[in-house]
């Protein structure tokens, strides 16, 4: 195979894909798993494939991958295509450096340090630090790990003594990664106490204090509280200011999980949702969500320098780290050794759009979610399941003829998804299924929201008509 010809053809296919990312293309060309297996022929043979077969593999992958850059992809907490970030990602893959030392990643080290400093300036951490890592779940793990090491410094060397009875407190609607983190750290998932939230999904501060007091009476040792900055379903922001008063009173580490909604901090208009963020001890922020940076781009920020380095027990590794006064080797504060360059794609995008550009982007996303909420409130067959908090709009269709709302709305979602017109996700509020529309694509316009609602209603009406016909045939 000629690598030059393949490279030239590949760039042509990439450019064609980028040009065709508009909404006239389906979000997904759906095939069931067995059909897709037959098309892709995913097994690897003994002999190399030819040039034509290799290029065909590219075509097939692009044809059947979900087009998350399409403005009808409203399914996840990330969406959209970001050209400067894509270019930055290509360059880091091309150069293929690792982030453990300045020696092998000089430009990337300078850029990551600058991005961490910039993000800390938004968080109100003037003497802060941080590291890019492999997603919000990993960020929550390292935050809990850091808090444990501050509470029990010797645990770095001797392990965690279960007689310490450490307990964690989270919003009952917080991300599952906190239980995973407690499991991995030996604290135990059952020692993650879920604090009651109000109907709006926000943690109730009085419930938190009562839970802390009860844990102390039970002989447990509270050490870590996590506030959520946009819950995964409702997009609710916990009241950081009020919770910080409680954690300050009891001397507990306060962590902010802003994996989904942390980017709202870029907006002067809406950053009040994170009022009190400067009072936290750590903050996870995922630019790969609302800033539309290609996956993965996630950072853990900590308020005080040196805390991340304190996590690492042994750096007697002269085959990687060499004494140098040039600049800090970032690997010395990471639990990873080999680490992908993720800060550079963020740097390209932030340089390209500027601080004001990203502030406008956050404002627009809130406006788009608000527009969806208004349409739903004004339609007789659509019902809002909860007041909109931020970027997420939870609603359902009210079917006629006594159809089960959960089953009917799930059927709408599945038919819509497999049609390729739109993909939207769902969840449960108690026993009630809710459709969750997420405004996460920075290029969304009102016409895109209206197009989704039109697709959704047409699908619902088609299903209702089918149900009526089926009923008539039965009778």
Chain-centre distance of CA 360, in angstroms? Answer: 20
Tell me: the pLDDT tens digits for 147-189?
Answer: 999 999 888 888 888 888 999 999 999 999 999 999 999 999 9
Q: Report strand pairing: 392-397 vs 432-438.
A: antiparallel
pLDDT at residue number 157: 86
pLDDT at residue number 472: 40
CA distance 188 to 166: 9
Chain-centre distance of CA 112, in angstroms? Answer: 20
pLDDT at residue number 54: 92
As a 3-state breakdown, the chain gives helix, strand, coil percent values, each rounded to 5, of: 50, 15, 40
pLDDT at residue number 213: 98
The whole-number average pLDDT for the span 215-231 is: 98
Tell me: the pLDDT tens digits for 397-417?
Answer: 999 888 999 999 999 999 999
The whole-number average pLDDT for the span 457-466 is: 93
How many CB atoms are located within 10 Å of the residue 425 CB? 18
Model confidence, pTM: 0.94
pLDDT at residue number 473: 38
Query: Pick from 128, 162, 362: which is nearest to 256 by CA?
Result: 128
Q: Which helix (H) or strand (E) holds 224?
A: strand 221-228
The whole-number average pLDDT for the span 440-461 is: 97
pLDDT band at 311, cuts 50/70/90? confident
pLDDT band at 475, cuts 50/70/90? very low
Tell me what the pLDDT averaged over the chain comes to: 93
pLDDT at residue number 321: 67
pLDDT at residue number 400: 87
pLDDT at residue number 415: 97
CA distance 448 to 73: 10
Tell me: the pLDDT tens digits for 126-142?
Answer: 999 999 999 999 999 99
Query: Pick from 362, 398, 453, 399: which is nearest to 74 by CA?
Result: 453
Query: Pick from 20, 85, 23: which is nearest to 423 by CA?
Result: 23
pLDDT band at 318, cuts 50/70/90? low
pLDDT at residue number 23: 61
Tell me: the pLDDT tens digits for 338-351?
Answer: 999 999 999 999 99
Residue 25, pLDDT above cutoff 90: no
The whole-number average pLDDT for the span 360-371 is: 98
Tell me: the pLDDT tens digits for 75-122?
Answer: 999 999 999 999 999 999 999 999 998 989 999 999 999 999 999 999
Residues 77 and 424: beta-carbon distance below 8 Å: no
pLDDT at residue number 468: 56
Question: What are the boundaries of each domain within the chain?
Answer: 3-67, 87-349
Burial zone of 173 (CB within 10 Å; 0-12 exposed, 13-18 middle, 19+ buried): buried
How many CB atoms are located within 10 Å of the residue 196 CB? 14
CATH topology of domain 87-349: 3.40.640
How many CB atoms are located within 10 Å of the residue 44 CB? 6
Residue 22, pLDDT above cutoff 90: no
């Amino acid at each position: 195979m000629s690598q030059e010809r393949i490279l030239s053809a590949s760039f042509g296919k990439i450019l064609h894909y980028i040009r065709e990312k508009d909404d006239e293309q389906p979000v997904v060309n759906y095939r069931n798993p067995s059909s897709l297996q037959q098309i892709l022929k995913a097994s690897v043979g003994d002999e190399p494939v030819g040039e034509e077969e290799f290029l065909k593999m590219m075509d097939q992958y692009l044809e059947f991958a979900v087009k998350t850059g399409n403005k009808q992809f409203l399914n996840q907490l990330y969406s959209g295509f970001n050209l400067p970030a894509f270019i930055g990602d290509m360059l880091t893959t091309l150069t293929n450096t690792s982030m453990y030392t300045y020696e092998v990643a000089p430009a990337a080290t300078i850029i990551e340090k600058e991005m961490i400093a910039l993000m800390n300036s938004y968080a109100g951490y003037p003497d802060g630090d941080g590291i890019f890592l492999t997603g919000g779940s990993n960020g929550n793990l390292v935050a809990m790990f850091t808090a444990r090491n501050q509470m029990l410094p010797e645990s770095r060397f001797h392990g965690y003594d279960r007689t310490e009875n450490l307990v964690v407190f989270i919003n009952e609607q917080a991300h599952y990664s906190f239980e995973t983190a407690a499991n991995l750290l030996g604290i135990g998932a059952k020692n993650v106490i879920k604090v009651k939230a109000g109907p709006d999904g926000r943690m109730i501060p009085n419930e938190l204090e009562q839970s802390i007091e009860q844990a102390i009476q039970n002989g447990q040792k509270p050490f870590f509280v996590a506030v959520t900055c946009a819950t995964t379903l409702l997009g609710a922001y916990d009241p950081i200011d009020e919770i910080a008063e409680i954690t300050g009173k009891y001397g507990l580490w306060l962590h902010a999980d802003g994996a989904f909604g942390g980017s709202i901090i870029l907006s002067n208009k809406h950053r009040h949702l994170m009022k009190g963020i400067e009072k936290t001890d750590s903050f996870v922020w995922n630019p790969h969500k609302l800033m539309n940076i290609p996956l993965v781009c996630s950072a853990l920020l900590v308020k005080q320098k040196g805390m991340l380095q304190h996590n690492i027990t042994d750096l007697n590794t002269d085959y990687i780290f060499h004494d140098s006064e040039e600049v800090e080797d970032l690997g010395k504060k990471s639990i990873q050794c080999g680490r992908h360059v993720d800060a550079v794609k963020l740097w390209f995008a932030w340089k390209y759009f500027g601080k004001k550009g990203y502030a406008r982007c956050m404002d627009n996303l809130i406006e788009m979610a608000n527009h969806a909420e208004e349409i739903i409130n004004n339609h007789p067959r659509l019902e809002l399941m909860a007041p909109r908090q931020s970027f997420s709009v939870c609603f359902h269709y009210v079917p006629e003829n006594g159809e089960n709302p959960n089953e009917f709305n799930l059927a709408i979602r599945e038919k819509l998804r497999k049609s390729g017109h739109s993909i939207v996700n769902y969840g449960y509020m108690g026993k009630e299924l809710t459709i969750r529309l997420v405004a996460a694509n920075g290029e969304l316009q009102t016409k895109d929201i209206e197009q989704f609602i039109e697709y959704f209603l047409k699908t619902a009406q088609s299903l209702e008509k089918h149900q009526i016909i089926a009923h008539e045939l039965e009778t």
